[in-house]
Amino acid sequence: MIDDATIAEHGLTADEYQRILTILGREPNLTELGIFSVMWSEHCSYKSSRRHLKTLPTEGPRVLQGPGENAGAVDVGDGLAAVFKIESHNHPSFIEPYQGAATGVGGIIRDIFTMGARPIALLNSLRFGELDDPMTRRIVAGVVAGIAGYGNSIGIPTVGGEMGFDKTYTGNPLVNVFCLGLVRSEDLILGRAEGVGNAVYYVGAKTGRDGIHGATMASAEFDETTEEKRPNVQVGDPFMEKLLLEACLEVMATDALVGIQDMGAAGLTCSTCEMGSRGNVGIEIDVTRVPQRETGMKPYEILLSESQERMLFIVREGREQEVEQIFEKWGLHAVGIGEVTADGLLRVREAGCIVAEIPNKALAEDGPVYNRPMQRPSDLDVLQSLDLKTLPPAPDADKVLIELLMSPQIASKRWVYRQYDHMVRTNTIVPAGMGAGVVRIKGTNRALIFSVDGNGRYCSLDPYQGARLAVAESARNVACAGGVPVGATNCLNFGNPERPEIMWQFAESVRGIGDACRVLEIPITGGNVSLYNETDGEAIQPTPVIGVVGVVENAARVLGRAFRREGVDVVLLGQSLTELGGSEYLKVVHGQVCGRPPQLDLVLEAALHQLLASATADGLLDSAHDCAEGGVAVALAECCFESGGIGLEVSLPSVEADDDHDNDVLLAMALFGETASCVVVSIEDVKTSELLRRASAVDVPAYVVGHTGGSRFRISVDGTTVIDHDLAQIESAWTNGFARHFKDRAA
């Protein structure tokens, strides 16, 4: 008899339990209840988010596989497909930072090679509390070490990413990991079971008790019991995963494999019922055949374990020995545990006795879907209000620039990147930290360019606009390297969806992503939703993270952010507006998070991307870097850093005086306002007129503001020098701004 306490312990509501009774026509046993609990968890079922996600644009001329599979895939030319996805491992990374982050890397890698693609690059998007908190520094160090430990060991380069900091992430960091792989388009493999009588094979590492109810844990808030959830965190083995990757790809090179699924969230339960559901077939397994590394494991534990480095295969009848031999060569388990059936059921036996019998579709597709109540937060009007007249006098611009360059949000993440092997496999074109990730497609002239971006601060002030800005910036980063965006993935990190204001933030963010992607013509090929990111009732900032993938036809023309030579023109492309809302300047200098995020003209944004792509393809530009946190002054400084000491002298357009703003506010807007759709490029002076002509033709504002050269960093506004620094001095501040918090740890 299943009592109310047991139902609640499994994260199910009374209504959901009644639904289970209707589906089964009887009471479930404890094993079946556990199966329903993980498959109907928020993490697996998307029961709060599904109706909103269906509004996103998912089709395009290059899309080969959209949402619904392990990862998305787009055509990148020459018969090749880029397979990519982003996933979260937030809750595990707070409980156990190293293993939480490491297994997050392992999981997303498996999602990629499950599609038949060889993973070639990793990115990450990370959020933490403020670095003056010792616990935050411990979590940062553990997460970075976990990402490095797994990625470096398996031999896949981590070529970049981004980090953010806010007190709302103190008890709930975000660890979002992006992976990209390549495969021949005709060799894409899907995660579905087909062919009645075909064998179901368990391959990879043995099953243990680690990670049981990990999916359920990821669908709940943190509280005083958080420490008790440590056993829910999986333990990864990157060396085992490397063997598994190679063995799987070798099997995929034959035609013995019908379908494959990673045993990720919800483990063996999820892989069996999802594959069966996609193929409209049943799957029958016997858990006594599952390789186990611990004694006395019950069916409940075997089915719900989230032990790492495991896969489920559907093998063509008569080809079983071939698969077993390949895995034996790699020293891995490949064990037949069942077969495909015609009845559409997930049937689990233990030594011949049925211990669970549930329709696959009831688990994988027909779970509850909620239309959660939504309400605009009552304090949003107050948060959006910004009276610049009330700001105290700001320090000199010279000092403000140093403050911003040393803030963890902006400062160099070299301390992080040095722990990652970003050059392994020798495909990396742009070093980590120098712009978007770029890897060459061997055997062609092309390269793939990819970027991840999000801004929780903007989204907390206006989730619709913040999400649009995240799409635009991620795509702009791709365009700045010379790429044409062709597809996107998202990782949507929010608090408790049962709170109407959180659900409103989520819905508005999805609406913003959809609107931006439609105008920029970037389809969403898949992604991940991570909800219940809160601790003791305090939610994180709403943080949708967008990963954009692009293609550049000539890898030799790829651009980085740093100036390449002295004596060339510096040009601003795009708009220059007077805005400070939600800026790093407001937070760092005045301790305020308020106002409205920057405006965004998506038509202008699209035109800017096209201009950058064509100018790069024709070899006009030396470098390109978008203006983001810290505004144009910080962007200009970043162009000088890691350039070999190339300084600059520029004169920015003056900000028109008005009665509403003091002169120091107007100056702050000109220097540190985070205007969207603004890019700094460097270009040989003989080519500048052509760039200006092209910009005018597509209605993109363009201004020649100065030139590179010398050892000083000098900015004038309206003829008055407002920033004048020795370049080495400000680069040192930027280089050490983040690392100074970890002086006791080797870089």
Q: Which amino acid is at 602?
A: L
Provide the residue count of the chain.
747
The number of C-alpha atoms within 13 Å of 450 and in the hemisphere containing its C-beta is 33
Q: Which of 549, 677, 678, 696 is nearest to 605 (CA)?
A: 677
Question: Which of 211, 214, 298 lies closest to 44 in space, CA to CA?
Answer: 214
Task: Return d(Cα 157, Cα 393) in angstroms, integer.
Answer: 46
**What are the phi and psi torsion angles at 222 (to 5°)?**
-85, 150
Which DSSP string corresponds to 656-705? PP-SSS-HHHHHHHHHH---SSEEEEEE-HHHHHHHHHHHHHTT--EEEE
Are 437 and 450 in contact by the 8 Å Cβ rule? The answer is yes
390 φ, ψ (degrees, to nearest 5): -85, -5
Task: Answer yes or no: 43 catalytic.
Answer: yes
Q: Decide if 181 contacts 87 (C-beta within 8 A).
A: no
Q: Which member of 10, 52, 89, 725 is catalytic?
A: 89
DSSP letter at 452 equals E
Asked whether 195 and 157 are in contact (CB, 8 A), the reply is no
What tokens does 420 get? Answer: 């990652």
CB 477 within 8 Å of CB 16: no
Cα separation of 108 and 634, whole Å? 33
Fill in the DSSP letter of residue 628. -
Nearest to 198 by CA among 247, 257, 252: 257
Query: What does DSSP assign to residue 67?
Result: B
Active site residue 590: no
Instruction: Please report which helix (H) or strand (E) contains residue 177, including its range.
Output: strand 174-184
Instruction: Report the side by side order of strands in the sheet with 345-350.
Output: 257-262, 310-315, 199-204, 333-341, 282-286, 345-350, 353-359
Residue tagged active-site, from 10, 43, 91, 725: 43
- Which are the catalytic amino acids? 43, 89
